């Protein structure tokens, strides 16, 4: 790849949306055991992504 093409790819990647857990509405009062487990798994996955 030439340098101009690589720079274009970098710029395009910087414009991609990033989804995070705060995009999802969550009600602790309405949560069941499966919901709470999903929250724990999501938090663990987010930590793994931050540590990469």
pTM of the model: 0.48
Each residue's pLDDT tens digit, 1-52: 578 777 777 777 777 677 665 566 778 899 999 999 999 999 999 999 998 7
Q: Give DSSP secondary structure letters for 1-52.
A: --HHHHHHHHHHHHTS----GGGS---TTT--HHHHHHHHHHHHHHHHHHT-
């Amino acid at each position: 790849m030439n340098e101009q093409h690589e720079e274009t790819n970098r710029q395009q990647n910087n414009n991609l949306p990033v989804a995070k857990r705060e995009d999802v509405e969550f009600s602790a009062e309405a949560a069941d055991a499966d919901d709470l487990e999903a929250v724990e798994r999501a938090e663990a996955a987010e930590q793994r992504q931050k540590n990469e």
